[in-house]
Amino acid sequence: MKRISLTQYLIEEQRQHNNIPESLRLLTEVVGRACKTISHAVGKGALGEVLGSAESENVQGEVQKKLDIISNEILLEANEWGGHLAAMASEEMEEIHPIPNRYPMGEYLLLFDPLDGSSNIDVNVSIGTIFSVLKAPAGMKNPTEADFLQPGSKQVLAGYAVYGPQTLLVLTTGNGVQAFTLDREMGAWVMTQKNMQIPADTKEYAINASNARHWFPPVKRYVDELQQGSTGPRDKDFNMRWIASMVADVHRILTRGGIFMYPADARDPDKPGKLRLMYEANPMAFLVEQAGGAATDGKQRILDIQPQKLHQRVAVFLGSKNEVERVTGYHLQ
């Protein structure tokens, strides 16, 4: 099999489709490099003294794990000096991080969830990094939070790395979804899947069922029908998977289909779901749509949502198109 590196893929994409200008290629390669560094730290585990919690909380009120902070630092440091970015924003930082004056300012904005699946770090289950790239508004001088508040449909690039049995980088620039596997000996990203496609139908769903008593009626109805299996209105048996790392759940769906749900529920009217629009929902929605799937908040397409604030949360239903359409339909009835 001919090996296509990440660099070769990005250069050929630009030649054929003119969609990855040089500075976006640099950005992608720098993020890819940072993910290799994070993968290395993750892989050291207890030997690298990277497990366990730090003594801080992030703006979402979550106790930060050491690896949340380490991964955030790695991404910041890797992306500061290249001249490709104007500013960054992260799940782990309350405020945006403009590029320091000593470096030239670029035209892109980078958003990330540096370490997704924090609760799985210490138990050696797959975790990842999620990222999203926007263009800075034309004429922007000093980046502010408002410059980031663009709907997901404006993303020029999105992707994630999974640190699992293999380390993978999965990307879209709006022309399909490609996956690269880290060749650990060579330290290189090698393309291993081209044009990933999510089947429209599935027999697999993912939801944290411990919240069932708080669900709103459309979610209750939908999941209840799945659970009735071949004796119910769906006429087939469904299987369930919940990894509690969004990257790993979404990667399974990109690989073999399925529906992933993290709904809003009755607990807190001010908290529409758990997942973050800008760092989790938007990049994953972009990837899933590029693979032929769908992503909604139960009512509308995630990529159409106009963000009101950086750390905004959102309900998420994504994956196999026919299932996402069905549960969205139940919300709209």
Interface residue list for ligand AHG (CB under 6 A):
62, 91, 113, 116-119, 208, 244-246, 274
Query: Of 90-98, 121-129, 183-191, 234-242, which part binds Mn ion (CB under 5 A)?
Result: 90-98
Binds 297, which of Mn ion, ligand AHG, none (CB < 5 to 8 A, cut-off by type)? none
Q: Is 74 exposed, middle or buried (0-12, 13-18, 19+ CB in 10 A)?
A: buried
Strand 239-240 to 259-262 pairing: unpaired
Please tell me whether residue 289 binds Mn ion under the rule CB under 5 A.
no
- Please check if 159 is assigned to a binding site: no
Is residue 211 a known part of a binding site?
no
Q: Please tell me whether 118 is known to bind a ligand.
A: yes
Euclidean distance between CA atoms 16 and 25, whole angstroms: 14
Q: Which span sits near Mn ion by CB under 5 A: 6-14, 110-118, 121-129, 199-207?
A: 110-118
Closest separation in Å from C-beta 279 to ligand AHG: 8
Q: How many angstroms separate the CA atoms of 34 and 29, rounded?
A: 9
- Quote the least distance from Cβ 7 to ligand AHG, whole Å: 29
Q: Phi and psi (nearest 5°) for 203?
A: -125, 25
Residue 124 interacting partner from Mn ion, ligand AHG, none (CB closer than 5 to 8 Å by kind): none
Q: Binding to Mn ion by residue 122, rule CB under 5 A?
A: no
In whole angstroms, the minimum distance from the beta carbon of 177 to ligand AHG comes to 19
The answer to the question of residue 62 lying near Mn ion (CB under 5 A) is yes
The reply, when asked if residue 68 is annotated as ligand binding, is no
Tokens of 328: 């969205």
* 280 annotated as belonging to a binding site for a ligand: yes
Residue with tokens 């529409």: 272
Q: Which of 13, 107, 116, 249 touches Mn ion (CB under 5 A)?
A: 116
Q: Which helix (H) or strand (E) holds 66?
A: helix 66-80
Radius of gyration (C-alpha) of the chain in whole angstroms:
19
107: partner contacted, choices Mn ion, ligand AHG, none (Cβ within 5-8 A by kind): none
Residue 119 annotated as lining a ligand binding site: yes
Total chain residues near Mn ion (CB under 5 A): 6
Q: How far is the CB of 53 from Mn ion (least distance, A)?
A: 12
122 assigned binding-site residue = no
Burial code (b: 16+ CB inside 10 Å, e: under 16) for 282-312 equals bbbbbbbbbbbbbbbbbeebbbebebeebbe
Residue 149, CA atoms < 13 Å, CB-side half-sphere: 10
Order of strands, sheet of 259-262, starting from the edge strand that comes earlier in the sequence: 239-240, 204-206, 259-262, 316-319, 294-296
Which of Mn ion, ligand AHG, none binds 84 (CB below 5-8 Å, type-dependent)?
none
Strands 204-206 vs 239-240: parallel, antiparallel or unpaired: parallel
List interacting residues with Mn ion (CB under 5 A).
62, 91, 113, 115-116, 118
Binding residues for substrate: 116-119, 208, 274
**Known binding-site positions for Mg(2+):** 91, 113, 115-116, 280
